[in-house]
Amino acid sequence: MAITSQPCRTKAAAVSPPMPPLAPRTSAFFEFIIAPPLVRTNTGCDRMKGIGELASAAESFSMNPRVSWDDQRAFVAVLEEGSLSAAARRLGVSQPTVRARLNALEQALGVVLFTRSMRGVVPTDQARALIGPARMMASASETFIRAASEPVDRVAGIVRLSVSDVVGVELLPAMLVPLRHRHPDLILETVLSNASANVLEQEVDIAVRMHRPAQEALVAREVPPIAIGLFAHVDYLAARGTPRSVADLDGHDIIGSDRSVPDLAFASAFLPGVARNRYVVRTDSHPAQLAAARAGLGIAVVQLAIGLADDRLRRVLPDIELPPLRTRITTHESLRTSPRVRAVFDHLVTAFNAHGQRLTRDLISRR
Protein backbone atom coordinates (compact mmCIF):
# COMPACT_ATOMS: atom_id res chain seq x y z
CA MET A 1 0.00 0.00 0.00
CA ALA A 2 1.35 3.39 -0.94
CA ILE A 3 1.14 4.93 2.52
CA THR A 4 1.98 8.64 2.31
CA SER A 5 1.39 11.84 4.18
CA GLN A 6 0.21 13.54 0.98
CA PRO A 7 -3.58 13.44 0.43
CA CYS A 8 -3.42 13.11 -3.39
CA ARG A 9 -1.26 11.61 -6.09
CA THR A 10 -1.50 12.28 -9.81
CA LYS A 11 0.74 9.63 -11.36
CA ALA A 12 -0.11 5.94 -11.45
CA ALA A 13 2.52 3.56 -10.14
CA ALA A 14 3.67 0.44 -11.92
CA VAL A 15 1.45 -2.59 -11.71
CA SER A 16 2.50 -4.98 -8.97
CA PRO A 17 2.81 -8.70 -9.71
CA PRO A 18 -0.37 -10.71 -9.13
CA MET A 19 -0.92 -11.93 -5.60
CA PRO A 20 -2.33 -15.27 -4.55
CA PRO A 21 -6.07 -15.26 -3.83
CA LEU A 22 -7.30 -14.53 -0.34
CA ALA A 23 -7.89 -17.51 1.87
CA PRO A 24 -11.60 -18.40 2.06
CA ARG A 25 -13.50 -17.14 5.04
CA THR A 26 -13.69 -19.71 7.79
CA SER A 27 -17.29 -20.79 8.20
CA ALA A 28 -19.11 -22.12 11.21
CA PHE A 29 -22.70 -23.20 11.57
CA PHE A 30 -23.44 -20.10 13.63
CA GLU A 31 -21.52 -16.87 13.09
CA PHE A 32 -22.00 -13.53 14.89
CA ILE A 33 -20.94 -10.42 13.00
CA ILE A 34 -21.07 -6.99 14.59
CA ALA A 35 -22.06 -4.38 12.08
CA PRO A 36 -19.28 -1.87 11.40
CA PRO A 37 -19.66 1.79 12.34
CA LEU A 38 -20.55 4.38 9.78
CA VAL A 39 -17.60 6.13 8.11
CA ARG A 40 -17.55 9.90 8.38
CA THR A 41 -16.45 11.98 5.40
CA ASN A 42 -14.30 15.08 5.20
CA THR A 43 -12.75 17.22 2.52
CA GLY A 44 -9.15 17.48 1.46
CA CYS A 45 -7.84 17.26 -2.13
CA ASP A 46 -8.28 19.85 -4.80
CA ARG A 47 -11.83 19.42 -6.09
CA MET A 48 -11.15 19.36 -9.83
CA LYS A 49 -8.22 16.99 -9.54
CA GLY A 50 -10.27 14.79 -7.19
CA ILE A 51 -13.16 14.60 -9.63
CA GLY A 52 -10.83 13.54 -12.42
CA GLU A 53 -9.16 10.87 -10.31
CA LEU A 54 -12.48 9.54 -9.04
CA ALA A 55 -13.83 9.32 -12.57
CA SER A 56 -10.71 7.42 -13.57
CA ALA A 57 -11.07 5.15 -10.56
CA ALA A 58 -14.74 4.48 -11.27
CA GLU A 59 -13.89 3.55 -14.86
CA SER A 60 -11.17 1.23 -13.59
CA PHE A 61 -13.62 -0.53 -11.27
CA SER A 62 -15.89 -1.40 -14.16
CA MET A 63 -13.47 -1.82 -17.08
CA ASN A 64 -9.92 -2.38 -15.87
CA PRO A 65 -9.08 -6.09 -15.88
CA ARG A 66 -6.19 -5.41 -13.51
CA VAL A 67 -8.62 -4.65 -10.64
CA SER A 68 -9.11 -7.83 -8.64
CA TRP A 69 -12.15 -8.48 -6.49
CA ASP A 70 -9.81 -9.80 -3.78
CA ASP A 71 -8.07 -6.41 -3.83
CA GLN A 72 -11.41 -4.68 -3.42
CA ARG A 73 -12.33 -6.99 -0.54
CA ALA A 74 -9.12 -5.95 1.18
CA PHE A 75 -9.98 -2.29 0.55
CA VAL A 76 -13.43 -2.64 2.12
CA ALA A 77 -12.04 -4.57 5.10
CA VAL A 78 -9.33 -1.97 5.84
CA LEU A 79 -11.75 0.93 5.55
CA GLU A 80 -14.34 -0.71 7.81
CA GLU A 81 -11.90 -2.17 10.35
CA GLY A 82 -9.57 0.83 10.48
CA SER A 83 -6.24 -1.04 10.40
CA LEU A 84 -4.31 -3.57 8.32
CA SER A 85 -4.08 -6.07 11.18
CA ALA A 86 -7.83 -6.00 11.90
CA ALA A 87 -8.60 -6.35 8.20
CA ALA A 88 -6.22 -9.31 7.97
CA ARG A 89 -7.98 -11.04 10.86
CA ARG A 90 -11.36 -10.44 9.25
CA LEU A 91 -10.22 -11.85 5.90
CA GLY A 92 -8.23 -14.73 7.38
CA VAL A 93 -4.96 -13.72 5.72
CA SER A 94 -1.67 -12.16 6.79
CA GLN A 95 -1.11 -8.43 7.19
CA PRO A 96 1.51 -8.35 4.38
CA THR A 97 -1.09 -9.90 2.05
CA VAL A 98 -3.56 -7.12 2.86
CA ARG A 99 -0.87 -4.48 2.29
CA ALA A 100 0.04 -6.06 -1.05
CA ARG A 101 -3.61 -6.14 -2.06
CA LEU A 102 -3.99 -2.43 -1.35
CA ASN A 103 -0.78 -1.68 -3.23
CA ALA A 104 -2.11 -3.56 -6.25
CA LEU A 105 -5.46 -1.76 -6.10
CA GLU A 106 -3.89 1.69 -5.77
CA GLN A 107 -1.55 1.01 -8.67
CA ALA A 108 -4.36 -0.34 -10.86
CA LEU A 109 -6.57 2.69 -10.12
CA GLY A 110 -3.80 5.28 -10.11
CA VAL A 111 -4.98 6.90 -6.88
CA VAL A 112 -3.92 6.89 -3.22
CA LEU A 113 -6.57 5.28 -1.03
CA PHE A 114 -5.04 5.53 2.46
CA THR A 115 -2.54 7.72 4.29
CA ARG A 116 -0.71 6.95 7.52
CA SER A 117 -1.43 8.78 10.77
CA MET A 118 -0.80 8.28 14.47
CA ARG A 119 -4.14 6.46 14.64
CA GLY A 120 -3.28 4.04 11.85
CA VAL A 121 -4.43 4.25 8.24
CA VAL A 122 -6.78 7.06 7.20
CA PRO A 123 -8.91 6.86 4.03
CA THR A 124 -8.47 9.61 1.46
CA ASP A 125 -11.36 11.38 -0.25
CA GLN A 126 -10.99 8.94 -3.16
CA ALA A 127 -11.38 5.98 -0.81
CA ARG A 128 -14.46 7.47 0.84
CA ALA A 129 -16.07 8.07 -2.56
CA LEU A 130 -15.40 4.49 -3.69
CA ILE A 131 -16.58 2.68 -0.57
CA GLY A 132 -20.25 2.84 -1.63
CA PRO A 133 -19.77 0.96 -4.93
CA ALA A 134 -17.32 -1.43 -3.26
CA ARG A 135 -19.82 -2.27 -0.53
CA MET A 136 -22.54 -2.84 -3.11
CA MET A 137 -20.24 -5.29 -4.89
CA ALA A 138 -19.47 -7.02 -1.60
CA SER A 139 -23.17 -7.30 -0.78
CA ALA A 140 -23.94 -8.67 -4.25
CA SER A 141 -21.12 -11.18 -3.90
CA GLU A 142 -22.41 -12.36 -0.51
CA THR A 143 -25.97 -12.64 -1.87
CA PHE A 144 -24.64 -14.69 -4.80
CA ILE A 145 -22.77 -17.01 -2.44
CA ARG A 146 -25.79 -17.48 -0.18
CA ALA A 147 -28.02 -18.30 -3.14
CA ALA A 148 -25.43 -20.68 -4.60
CA SER A 149 -25.12 -22.47 -1.25
CA GLU A 150 -28.73 -23.67 -1.44
CA PRO A 151 -29.21 -27.22 -2.73
CA VAL A 152 -32.40 -28.11 -4.56
CA ASP A 153 -33.30 -31.23 -2.57
CA ARG A 154 -33.21 -30.06 1.08
CA VAL A 155 -33.19 -27.07 3.43
CA ALA A 156 -29.54 -26.06 3.55
CA GLY A 157 -27.18 -23.20 2.85
CA ILE A 158 -26.48 -19.76 4.32
CA VAL A 159 -29.15 -17.49 5.77
CA ARG A 160 -28.10 -14.05 6.99
CA LEU A 161 -30.20 -12.48 9.78
CA SER A 162 -30.33 -8.98 11.22
CA VAL A 163 -31.58 -8.47 14.78
CA SER A 164 -31.16 -5.87 17.50
CA ASP A 165 -28.19 -6.35 19.79
CA VAL A 166 -30.10 -7.41 22.90
CA VAL A 167 -32.39 -9.79 20.97
CA GLY A 168 -29.35 -11.33 19.32
CA VAL A 169 -27.63 -11.88 22.67
CA GLU A 170 -30.52 -12.72 25.01
CA LEU A 171 -33.29 -14.31 22.91
CA LEU A 172 -32.19 -15.49 19.49
CA PRO A 173 -29.66 -18.23 20.39
CA ALA A 174 -32.23 -20.32 22.27
CA MET A 175 -34.76 -19.79 19.48
CA LEU A 176 -32.34 -21.15 16.90
CA VAL A 177 -31.55 -24.42 18.70
CA PRO A 178 -34.63 -26.34 17.47
CA LEU A 179 -34.16 -24.88 13.98
CA ARG A 180 -30.60 -26.21 13.85
CA HIS A 181 -31.76 -29.62 15.08
CA ARG A 182 -34.41 -29.76 12.37
CA HIS A 183 -32.16 -28.43 9.59
CA PRO A 184 -28.53 -29.22 10.48
CA ASP A 185 -27.28 -28.13 7.04
CA LEU A 186 -28.29 -24.51 7.60
CA ILE A 187 -25.55 -21.95 8.23
CA LEU A 188 -26.75 -18.89 10.15
CA GLU A 189 -24.97 -15.54 9.90
CA THR A 190 -26.30 -12.99 12.39
CA VAL A 191 -25.77 -9.24 12.22
CA LEU A 192 -26.31 -7.62 15.63
CA SER A 193 -27.23 -3.97 15.23
CA ASN A 194 -29.95 -1.58 16.31
CA ALA A 195 -29.73 0.04 12.87
CA SER A 196 -31.95 -1.36 10.14
CA ALA A 197 -30.21 -3.66 7.69
CA ASN A 198 -31.11 -3.19 4.02
CA VAL A 199 -33.41 -6.11 3.22
CA LEU A 200 -34.55 -4.50 -0.02
CA GLU A 201 -31.03 -4.70 -1.46
CA GLN A 202 -30.61 -8.13 0.19
CA GLU A 203 -27.81 -7.04 2.50
CA VAL A 204 -29.44 -9.65 4.74
CA ASP A 205 -32.01 -12.33 3.99
CA ILE A 206 -34.22 -11.77 7.05
CA ALA A 207 -34.52 -8.90 9.51
CA VAL A 208 -36.30 -8.73 12.85
CA ARG A 209 -37.46 -5.11 12.89
CA MET A 210 -39.12 -2.89 15.48
CA HIS A 211 -40.79 -0.70 12.84
CA ARG A 212 -43.00 -1.18 9.79
CA PRO A 213 -41.05 -1.66 6.52
CA ALA A 214 -41.65 1.16 4.05
CA GLN A 215 -40.64 -0.70 0.87
CA GLU A 216 -43.34 -2.51 -1.07
CA ALA A 217 -41.00 -5.31 -2.17
CA LEU A 218 -40.70 -6.59 1.41
CA VAL A 219 -42.77 -9.29 3.07
CA ALA A 220 -43.40 -8.82 6.80
CA ARG A 221 -45.18 -10.84 9.48
CA GLU A 222 -46.07 -9.09 12.70
CA VAL A 223 -45.45 -11.04 15.89
CA PRO A 224 -46.40 -10.17 19.48
CA PRO A 225 -44.89 -6.86 20.60
CA ILE A 226 -41.96 -7.01 23.01
CA ALA A 227 -43.01 -5.59 26.38
CA ILE A 228 -40.52 -3.54 28.38
CA GLY A 229 -40.27 -2.22 31.93
CA LEU A 230 -37.94 -0.81 34.57
CA PHE A 231 -35.68 -3.22 36.48
CA ALA A 232 -32.94 -3.04 39.09
CA HIS A 233 -30.75 -5.51 40.98
CA VAL A 234 -32.03 -6.68 44.37
CA ASP A 235 -28.84 -5.41 46.05
CA TYR A 236 -29.26 -1.97 44.53
CA LEU A 237 -32.87 -1.73 45.77
CA ALA A 238 -31.85 -2.97 49.22
CA ALA A 239 -29.24 -0.21 49.47
CA ARG A 240 -31.14 2.65 47.81
CA GLY A 241 -34.77 1.78 48.36
CA THR A 242 -37.54 1.09 45.86
CA PRO A 243 -39.03 4.10 44.04
CA ARG A 244 -42.79 4.47 44.40
CA SER A 245 -43.39 6.98 41.61
CA VAL A 246 -41.74 8.38 38.52
CA ALA A 247 -40.78 11.44 40.55
CA ASP A 248 -38.81 9.19 42.91
CA LEU A 249 -36.57 8.17 40.01
CA ASP A 250 -34.90 11.57 40.16
CA GLY A 251 -33.22 10.41 43.36
CA HIS A 252 -31.93 7.16 41.86
CA ASP A 253 -29.12 6.10 39.55
CA ILE A 254 -30.42 5.52 36.03
CA ILE A 255 -28.84 3.44 33.28
CA GLY A 256 -29.64 4.73 29.82
CA SER A 257 -28.62 5.79 26.37
CA ASP A 258 -25.60 7.90 25.51
CA ARG A 259 -26.29 9.37 22.05
CA SER A 260 -29.00 7.25 20.44
CA VAL A 261 -31.63 9.76 19.29
CA PRO A 262 -34.60 7.30 19.43
CA ASP A 263 -33.62 6.09 22.91
CA LEU A 264 -33.12 9.62 24.24
CA ALA A 265 -36.48 10.67 22.80
CA PHE A 266 -38.13 7.66 24.42
CA ALA A 267 -36.65 8.51 27.83
CA SER A 268 -37.72 12.13 27.50
CA ALA A 269 -41.30 11.16 26.60
CA PHE A 270 -41.93 8.36 29.06
CA LEU A 271 -39.60 9.17 31.96
CA PRO A 272 -40.07 12.93 32.20
CA GLY A 273 -38.63 14.75 35.14
CA VAL A 274 -35.58 12.49 35.42
CA ALA A 275 -32.62 14.85 35.16
CA ARG A 276 -29.92 13.96 32.67
CA ASN A 277 -27.31 13.93 35.44
CA ARG A 278 -29.17 11.01 37.03
CA TYR A 279 -28.10 8.86 34.06
CA VAL A 280 -24.92 7.66 35.71
CA VAL A 281 -24.22 4.89 33.18
CA ARG A 282 -24.69 5.89 29.54
CA THR A 283 -24.30 3.53 26.62
CA ASP A 284 -26.16 2.94 23.36
CA SER A 285 -25.59 -0.81 23.69
CA HIS A 286 -28.69 -2.43 25.17
CA PRO A 287 -26.80 -5.57 26.27
CA ALA A 288 -24.37 -3.26 28.10
CA GLN A 289 -27.30 -1.50 29.80
CA LEU A 290 -28.66 -4.88 30.88
CA ALA A 291 -25.25 -5.95 32.16
CA ALA A 292 -24.98 -2.71 34.17
CA ALA A 293 -28.38 -3.38 35.77
CA ARG A 294 -27.36 -6.94 36.59
CA ALA A 295 -24.22 -5.59 38.25
CA GLY A 296 -26.29 -3.33 40.51
CA LEU A 297 -25.34 0.01 38.95
CA GLY A 298 -28.87 1.39 38.78
CA ILE A 299 -32.31 1.17 37.18
CA ALA A 300 -32.64 0.34 33.47
CA VAL A 301 -35.29 -0.29 30.83
CA VAL A 302 -35.29 -4.04 30.18
CA GLN A 303 -37.46 -6.35 28.10
CA LEU A 304 -40.01 -7.88 30.50
CA ALA A 305 -39.31 -11.48 29.50
CA ILE A 306 -35.59 -10.99 30.16
CA GLY A 307 -36.01 -9.10 33.43
CA LEU A 308 -38.64 -11.41 34.91
CA ALA A 309 -36.55 -14.48 34.09
CA ASP A 310 -33.55 -13.12 36.04
CA ASP A 311 -33.71 -13.88 39.77
CA ARG A 312 -31.25 -11.05 40.46
CA LEU A 313 -33.54 -8.38 39.01
CA ARG A 314 -36.76 -6.89 40.35
CA ARG A 315 -39.31 -4.93 38.39
CA VAL A 316 -39.60 -1.29 39.44
CA LEU A 317 -42.82 0.74 39.12
CA PRO A 318 -44.77 -2.09 37.45
CA ASP A 319 -47.87 0.10 37.14
CA ILE A 320 -46.09 2.36 34.64
CA GLU A 321 -46.92 1.15 31.14
CA LEU A 322 -44.06 1.73 28.76
CA PRO A 323 -45.01 1.32 25.08
CA PRO A 324 -44.10 -2.16 23.79
CA LEU A 325 -41.83 -2.65 20.80
CA ARG A 326 -43.90 -3.71 17.80
CA THR A 327 -41.95 -6.46 16.11
CA ARG A 328 -41.98 -7.79 12.55
CA ILE A 329 -40.11 -10.55 10.75
CA THR A 330 -39.17 -9.20 7.32
CA THR A 331 -37.69 -10.59 4.11
CA HIS A 332 -37.54 -9.70 0.43
CA GLU A 333 -40.46 -11.00 -1.61
CA SER A 334 -38.07 -12.69 -4.05
CA LEU A 335 -36.60 -14.76 -1.19
CA ARG A 336 -39.88 -15.89 0.36
CA THR A 337 -40.01 -19.02 -1.82
CA SER A 338 -36.40 -19.99 -1.11
CA PRO A 339 -36.52 -23.17 1.03
CA ARG A 340 -33.67 -22.02 3.30
CA VAL A 341 -35.14 -18.53 3.82
CA ARG A 342 -38.71 -19.78 4.20
CA ALA A 343 -37.63 -22.32 6.84
CA VAL A 344 -35.88 -19.68 8.94
CA PHE A 345 -38.59 -17.05 8.38
CA ASP A 346 -41.42 -19.39 9.43
CA HIS A 347 -39.41 -20.67 12.39
CA LEU A 348 -38.77 -17.13 13.67
CA VAL A 349 -42.45 -16.23 13.37
CA THR A 350 -43.35 -19.32 15.39
CA ALA A 351 -40.59 -18.71 17.95
CA PHE A 352 -41.51 -15.05 18.56
CA ASN A 353 -45.21 -15.97 18.81
CA ALA A 354 -44.35 -18.58 21.44
CA HIS A 355 -42.14 -16.07 23.24
CA GLY A 356 -45.03 -13.62 23.48
CA GLN A 357 -47.45 -16.30 24.68
CA ARG A 358 -45.06 -17.42 27.43
CA LEU A 359 -44.70 -13.84 28.66
CA THR A 360 -48.50 -13.41 28.75
CA ARG A 361 -48.88 -16.55 30.84
CA ASP A 362 -46.08 -15.43 33.15
CA LEU A 363 -47.67 -12.02 33.71
CA ILE A 364 -51.05 -13.59 34.44
CA SER A 365 -49.50 -15.97 36.97
CA ARG A 366 -47.87 -13.05 38.82
CA ARG A 367 -51.12 -11.14 39.37
Give the contacts of 100 (CB within 8 A, at least 6 positions apart). 16, 19
pLDDT at residue 125, rounded to an integer: 85
Q: Tell if the pTM clears 0.75, that is, is over it.
A: no
pLDDT at 269 over 50: yes
Q: For the segment 136-147, what is each residue's pLDDT rounded down to a tens digit?
A: 777 677 666 666
Between the alpha carbon of residue 73 and those of residues 77, 235, 318, 333, 334, the distances in Å are 6, 49, 50, 28, 27
Average pLDDT rounded to a whole number, residues 333-338: 81
| Burial (CB count <10 Å: 0-12, 13-18, 19+), residue 184 | exposed
Q: To the nearest 10°, the Cα dihedral for 317, 293, 37, 147? A: -80
pLDDT at residue 91, rounded to an integer: 85
pLDDT at 293 over 90: yes
Highest mean pLDDT among 146-160, 199-213, 240-254: 240-254
d(CA 281, CA 254): 7
Band of the pLDDT at 212, cuts 50, 70, 90?
Answer: low
pLDDT at residue 157, rounded to an integer: 87
Give the full edge-to-edge strand order of the sheet including 313-316: 300-303, 228-233, 313-316
